[in-house]
Amino acid sequence: MTHTVTNVSGLVAEFAIVAAVVGCFVALHAYLQRHLRSEVLRRHNDVAGFLFSAVGILYAVVLGFVVVVVWQKYDGAVDIVEAEVNATGDLYHAVGSYPATPRAQIRSELQQYARTVIGVEWPAMERDEEVPETGVNLIDNVAYRVDSFAPTNWKEFAAQQAAISDVQRLLDSRRARLVQAAPAVPSVLWFALIVGALAMIAFCYIFGVENRPAQLVMTAILVALIGILFVVIQEFATPFSGSVRISADGWAYIQQRMSYIR
């Protein structure tokens, strides 16, 4: 039930920035073409070609690796959200065999937890802000009520064991979700990616070719491709914020289902 929310206007703005960057680099290349003699540049094409191949392979491996890592992080975040939602629903079911008073208390706090996740934690993660402790306090209360319950028959004992397992899964999934909310790409890696991109683009400037418009097109394609991959990395590195992010639909569904469970 967990889906991806896409902010189209945000993506359009990001790709507009990419297009502007492409235009700047192409304009700079055109300026250099007018002021550098093509015959001089062509003398170094052989050496520059070997260096470009070596640098290009290295940068492609690093860039591709980062894209794969952030995609796996995003995919893993979806699984973690599903696991947390499922653990909450399973726990809500498991305490159905508890006596009326503790069952009502636990279920009420689980309902409050679902509302807190949807109304407080999700907006905070979308803004890259610290998540308040309201949610974890509710789960701590639930865990205490589950553990302190004294079963009087085998049915209640089995329900308590299942509930204890569900509480542990819920706590683990919640912790993992908060960890996944942090950006996956550190600033030092961004620095390396940007420097590598500038090096790749610089190599385009030192090649001498007769068909200069075609060379400008190749420069534009290279810059655009790198820019698009940068957007992909930025979006998937933060699964719960940005223009492409994980929705709280799963929580909305389980919150709705809670009102029908007896």
Instruction: Going residue by residue through the chain, which has 262 residues, state the pLDDT in tens, using 9 for 90 and above.
Output: 667 877 889 999 999 999 999 999 999 988 887 776 666 566 666 666 677 788 889 999 999 999 999 999 999 999 999 999 999 999 999 999 999 999 999 999 999 999 999 999 999 999 989 999 999 999 999 999 999 999 989 999 999 999 999 999 999 999 999 999 988 888 999 999 999 999 999 888 877 677 778 888 989 999 999 999 999 999 999 999 989 999 999 999 999 988 887 7
What is d(CA 220, CA 178) in angstroms, rounded to the nearest whole number? 39
The token pair that represents 38 in the structure block: 């093509």
Distance CA(154)–CA(164), nearest Å, equals 15
Q: Give, in degrees to the nearest 5, the angle at Cα 115 between 112 and 121.
A: 115
The full length of the chain comes to 262
The identity of residue 211, as a single letter, is: N
d(CA 163, CA 62): 45
Only one residue has tokens 């930025």, namely 234
* Distance of alpha carbon 259 from alpha carbon 32, whole angstroms: 68
207 token code pair: 């090649």
Residue 71 pLDDT: 93
- Phi and psi at 245, nearest 5°, equal -145, 165
pLDDT at site 48: 66
Cβ atoms of 45 and 208 closer than 8 Å: yes
Alpha carbons 239 and 154: distance in angstroms, whole number: 43
Question: pTM for the whole thing?
Answer: 0.85
Instruction: Give the pLDDT score at 69.
Output: 93
H helices of 210-248, in order, are: 212-237
Our CA angle for 15, 16, 21, nearest 5°, is 95
**What's the pLDDT at 51?**
78
Phi-psi label, residue 242: left if phi above 0, alpha if psi -120 to 50, beta otherwise: left
Q: Are 82 and 140 in contact (CB under 8 A)?
A: no
